[in-house]
Amino acid sequence: MGYALLDQHVVTKLAREGANLISRETPLPQAAQALATMSTNPVNFTDGSSRLIFSVVKVAATNGTANYNQMVIWQRYEYGSFPASSKLNGSGSFGPPEYTAPNSDNNTSLRVTNLPGQLATVPGGMIFVAEIYTHHDLITPFDRLGVTVPSTLYSIAYF
């Protein structure tokens, strides 16, 4: 159980660092490469066992448009081939690996409504989000004892 907690800690700290990097205007592909360089077990973006999803959420600021004062996914970047998708609920089509919204003022499918309430910001403001998924190998058969340890670890960080 200790290894699962340690691995979850690694995933959480890496997500936090990713959100911090992109909040300082590091281009999303460069931030992904930096995280890949500093990642450690269990996170490995090159072997198919992990996935990183950066999202930049912007509060639309153009008065009189469909998304005025709404949180929308403005940019997204995905890295790694682990089969997972963002938990942010924008329903738009985000062509991997890199996406920038061509019409974030009027495309209502880009709206995000499931961010924590305390993250609300003013029109034109941005929230930087990093999500990391990774496969977690169980080293002890806890399932035989009735204890469930997840095989996928997930963390999300906001800046």
d(CA 4, CA 13): 14
The span from the first CA to the last CA of the chain, in angstroms, equals 30
Residue 35 binned pLDDT confidence (cut-offs 50, 70, 90): very high
Of 19-33, 59-73, 132-146, least confident by mean pLDDT is 132-146
Per-residue confidence (pLDDT) for residue 143, from 0 to 100: 67
Nearest to 93 by CA among 80, 112, 71, 109: 109
pTM over 0.85: yes
- pLDDT value at residue 37: 93
* Mean pLDDT in residue range 147-154: 82
Which residue intervals of 28-158 are DSSP H helices? 28-38
pLDDT score, position 56? 94
Q: Which two tokens stand for residue 70?
A: 């709404």
Cα angle 148, 52, 149; round to 5: 5
- pLDDT of residue 3 exceeding 80, the answer is no
CA dist 51 and 48 (Å) reads 8
* 53 beta partners: 78, 131
Predicted pLDDT of residue 50: 96
How much is the average pLDDT of 150-154? 88
Above 90 in pLDDT, residue 145? no
Lookup: tokens for 58: 């912007």
pLDDT surpasses 80 at 70: yes
Interacting residues of 81 by C-beta distance below 8 A, sequence separation 6+: 48, 51
